[in-house]
């Protein structure tokens, strides 16, 4: 998900929205373009929401890769440049196989059954995600291992099977399984 740019002259933190002084701010890069932050912590939390494998963060001072840290080990600069990692999903590119429908219409062959997703289950999942973001912070789940997510999913499954009705156990299990899939695929976002 792309971050929305924050005006350079904005006097609000690009992460928490707190008012800031224009002469005392943190920035992701030294270009003067992009969000400003009220603290290093806000800049780190904002940066943690980017998909990164540690190979796409570069020092804006010397240009060297800086891994998963926000301070350059080469020149001690605290400005970073973020470069996106291209994502390619099988079956959705320009070279996707072609399909012809019963009316002779040609289009890319659809390899995914999105119409099989239950709309109410998606609302249920999105509601749980919002409550979790309100309670723990947005994308906090990306800092939890797949094993921990699976353990919590199993707790909800067994609570449901035992007849416990204190919580939406199936919804939370569904959510935790999605978290486990994403963190297993992308790694922890530290």
82 and 158 inside one domain:
no
Q: Is the pLDDT of residue 79 over 70?
A: no
What is the reported pTM? Answer: 0.54
24 and 57 inside one domain:
yes
The verdict on residue 109 lying in a domain is no
The verdict on residue 48 lying in a domain is yes
Q: Are 34 and 8 in contact (CB under 8 A)?
A: yes
The verdict on residue 99 lying in a domain is no
Show the CA angle centred on residue 131, arms to residues 13 and 52, nearest 5°: 55
Name which residue leads in pLDDT, 101 or 5. Answer: 101
Q: Are 46 and 15 in contact (CB under 8 A)?
A: yes
Show the CA angle centred on residue 177, arms to residues 173 and 182, nearest 5°: 150
Residue 27, H or E segment: strand 26-27
Q: Which domain, by its residues, includes 25?
A: 1-89
The verdict on residue 104 lying in a domain is no
20 and 77 inside one domain:
yes
Rounded to an integer, what distance in angstroms lies between the CA atom of residue 51 and that of residue 43? 15
Q: Is the pLDDT of residue 45 over 90?
A: no
Domain count, the chain: 2
- Nearest residue to 62 (alpha-carbon basis) of 54, 71, 53: 71
């Amino acid at each position: 998900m792309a971050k929305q740019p924050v005006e350079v002259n904005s006097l609000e933190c690009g992460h928490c929205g707190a008012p800031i002084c224009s002469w005392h701010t943190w920035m992701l890069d030294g270009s003067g373009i992009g969000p400003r932050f009220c603290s290093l912590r806000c800049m780190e939390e904002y940066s943690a929401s980017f998909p990164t494998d540690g190979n796409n963060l570069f020092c804006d001072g010397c240009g060297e890769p800086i891994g998963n840290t926000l301070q350059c080990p080469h020149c001690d600069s605290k400005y970073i440049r973020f470069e996106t990692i291209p994502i390619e999903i099988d079956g959705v590119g320009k070279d996707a196989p072609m399909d012809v429908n019963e009316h002779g219409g040609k289009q890319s062959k659809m390899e995914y059954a999105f119409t099989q997703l239950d709309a109410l289950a998606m609302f249920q999942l999105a509601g749980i995600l919002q409550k979790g973001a309100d309670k723990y912070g947005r994308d906090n789940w990306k800092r939890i291992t797949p094993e921990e997510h699976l353990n919590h999913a199993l707790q909800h499954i067994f609570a449901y099977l035992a007849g416990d009705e204190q919580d939406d156990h199936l919804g939370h299990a569904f959510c935790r399984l999605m978290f486990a899939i994403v963190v297993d695929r992308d790694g922890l976002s530290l």
